[in-house]
Structure 1
């Protein structure tokens, strides 16, 4: 195992491609995306069963170094300000297999 930063992001689905490009520009080589997640926040209820990507959210999970996480948070903050959503940064242990 080794220590990493766990970056969890929920963002309006319409901003997903821009967010992923920002993450890649920061050196993030891998991530997991869950489309059409539901929840309730400052912008109200977001459903997961919409017929289109309008009014849906995406969840992005990243494991990276602390330095890369700091760059990524700075890069995506403007997108989160425009779109709403949230970003959580925590310590994690990567279990190598």
Structure 2
């Protein structure tokens, strides 16, 4: 039995996984307070997106947007000055720009 090390290989080592992405340690409440007055994307349970300036929201996730655009399948279908969205229709709120 030969105990010598194997001959060097011309194969490159397997690729390393990417480093983990930074995670935010703030609470959802901190996020929502941070995006008031900024552009957001609101996705409804129906799949329709509303994009605009988050004017205010309450504990029920009722939302008031200004300069609002309605997007269906990525296409702008309507523009509104102000829009009020009832919270039970909201799937999520996302910052439209990095915060």
Under TM normalisation by the shorter chain, which class is it?
A: under 0.3
The TM-score, its normalising length taken from structure 2, stands at 0.24
Flag the structure with more relative contact order, 1 or 2, with Cα contacts below 8 A and sequence separation at least 6: 1
